[in-house]
Amino acid sequence: MNRYLPKQARIPVSAWDDPKTIQEIHSDLRKSGLFAGEPIQVETALKDKKKQTDLLIPIFKPGQDGDDRLTELRAYRLVLNPTPNKKEALQFVNQIEVRELREDFVTEPLVRARVINPSSDRPVPFTTVYRFEDRAPRNGAWLTLNGKLKQGDSSIAYGQVVYYNPTTTAMSVMLSWTSPDGELPSWQAVPKGRPAEMVINQTVGLEPDFQVYQLRSVKRKNIPFQLQPISLSESGLKSNNGAFVDALFLARSGLWSNALEYMQSVKRQIGSDWTMNAQAQMDLVARHAKVTKTQADQPWANSGQQVLANLLDGRWERAIQFVQNRESDRTEVLDMLKFDPGRVQKRINAALNFDPARSDVQMWAALRLASQQGKPSAIAWLAKQPSDSNVRRTQTLKLINELDSMTFGTVTPSAISQNKN
- Radius of gyration, alpha carbons of the chain: 28
Residue 245 CA: distances (Å) to CA of 24, 25, 233, 250 = 61, 57, 9, 9
How many other β-carbons are positioned within 10 Å of the β-carbon of residue 33?
8
Mean pLDDT, 10 residues at a time, the chain of 421 residues: 43 61 94 96 86 96 86 94 74 96 97 92 96 90 97 92 96 97 95 95 97 94 94 97 98 99 98 97 99 98 96 98 88 93 97 96 96 93 94 93 66 37 44
DSSP code at position 2? G
DSSP code at position 204? B
Cα gap 419→114, rounded to integer Å: 9
Confidence at residue 86, expressed as pLDDT on a 0 to 100 scale: 65
Query: Burial letters for 95-120: b for 16+ Cβ neighbours within 10 Å, e otherwise?
Result: bbebebbbbeebbbbbeebebeeebe
Confidence at residue 296, expressed as pLDDT on a 0 to 100 scale: 98
Cα gap 155→178, rounded to integer Å: 11
Do the Cβ atoms of 105 and 45 come closer than 8 Å?
no
- List the one residue out of 384, 378, 376 whose CA is nearest residue 363: 378
Residues sharing a CB contact under 8 Å with residue 320, sequence separation 6 or more, in sequence order: 360, 363, 364
Confidence at residue 84, expressed as pLDDT on a 0 to 100 scale: 67
Greatest pairwise CA separation for the chain in angstroms: 99
- List the one residue out of 229, 205, 328 whose CA is nearest residue 284: 229
Global pTM reads 0.89
Cα gap 156→160, rounded to integer Å: 14
How many other β-carbons are positioned within 10 Å of the β-carbon of residue 12?
6
Confidence at residue 50, expressed as pLDDT on a 0 to 100 scale: 83
Do the Cβ atoms of 251 and 232 come closer than 8 Å?
yes
Do the Cβ atoms of 334 and 371 come closer than 8 Å?
yes
Confidence at residue 408, expressed as pLDDT on a 0 to 100 scale: 53
**Concatenated DSSP letters for 373-407?**
H-HHHHHHHHHTS--S-HHHHHHHHHHHHHHHTT-
Cα gap 20→82, rounded to integer Å: 10
